[in-house]
Chains A and B, each alone.
Chain A
């Protein structure tokens, strides 16, 4: 019965003093070191805080102080939205969590003022309220974390899509400019994209340009060999271009056997080879007929 009574007391305090608590709370948030004032206006913060405190009050009146109970659903939703929007707008975890944690002080001050004759009851109340706010704070942080992880995952996906374009250089000649570190996941995507494009365009020659690949280790080399072999099995020829001196050294030091794979220094050289294989050549438009020469790449 005493628990019920104390809940009533806390509820009563919040109901009676919510405006005061709101004022103190907003001040607390603004003065907190973890708050950057340029990110939002005072009015905005006040509106948000007021909305929260009303939902908070409603939840307290509805029953237990356990934020994972159904009647705390609205509070949780509100905090999720707030946390998500702050996470997306570049707030730090501290700034996001401060929103909830800073309500502790005004709440406790009011409790202390109201229950001034019973130290034991005061202690119980304080620990219960503290526990509640902590849980809400942790919930906020968790949602924040999830939001950030989503952002990272989305960016990873985008990076994956962006970094594996297969471009057509000429009819029957494809180029795959690889950029960034190659891991097995990415190589698989690249490989599939290339093979699919070979089928679509019936390209006989594919140039894999690794100018943008910072390092080549045995794994990357193995992936490259796999790509070339798979393309060959389908009936297309692969040329690897853009091997920098450093990478050439590494490949030889690692003892990787590139076998009969054609390698060229630059994409231009590779294109020249590809055109030659297709029986084409590039000539200067303005040159006199006698001087028509193969363009040197």
Chain B
């Protein structure tokens, strides 16, 4: 059976779609990716669709679904390199992929993931800080 390779890069997973997506392939990718995320405990997933030139409503929805599933599994997802024609098609189909992060290319996508990683780390710490600050403020008042 055909598989789309899922590469591991440190705390992230890299999926590059180089072939035309058909429905079965998308389903397989969904299975493979969710399994790999839970196996590796990846913190981020980067899906490169720069070679994807055609999408239909199913594939569009699958991209959204995969991103949603990754998020549930505690991994940020960035979709990178979407072609103009694909973007127009998705918008016309009413699939705006709300909640999915996007970037222009792999480099920028990686940067985004790295940033979100540190952000999420800081977030936990930051929350505490804010709480203390709030406390401090209350004390001051």
Using CB atoms and an 8 Å cutoff, list the residues of chain A in contact with chain B.
Answer: 191-192, 195-196, 198-199, 202-204, 226, 229-236
Contact = CB atoms under 8 A, between A and B. Distances in A.
Given A196-B84, A229-B96, A236 B91 contact: no
A197 to B, nearest CB: 9
Given A202-B104, A204-B104, A235 B80 contact: yes
Contacts of A230: 84, 87-88, 90-91
B109 A235 contact: yes
Contacts of B104: 198-199, 202-204, 234-236
Contact of B102 (A196, A226, A234): A234
A95 B83 CA distance: 53
B97 interface: yes
A195 B87 contact: yes
Interface residue SS majority, chain A: helix
B96 to A, nearest CB: 5
Nearest to B103: A235
A198 B91 CA distance: 17
A4 B54 CA distance: 68
B108 interface: yes
Interface in B94-116: 96-97, 102-105, 108-109
A168 to B, nearest CB: 15
Given A233-B91, A235-B80, A235-B82, 10 more contacts: A191-B88, A198-B84, A204-B108, A230-B87, A230-B91, A233-B87, A233-B90, A235-B103, A235-B104, A235-B105
Nearest to B88: A230
What are the 7 closest A-B residue pairs judged by CB atoms, nearest first? A195-B84, A235-B103, A235-B102, A230-B87, A235-B104, A233-B87, A230-B91
Contacts of B96: 229, 232-233
A233 B97 contact: yes
Contacts of A229: 91, 96
Most buried by A among B81, B86, B88: B88
A228 to B, nearest CB: 9
Contacts of A195: 84, 87-88
Contact of B87 (A202, A204, A231): A231
A199 B102 CA distance: 13
Nearest to A194: B84
A234 B82 contact: yes
Interface string B20-45: 00000000000000000000000000
Given A204-B108, A226-B91, A232 B84 contact: no
A226 B108 CA distance: 23
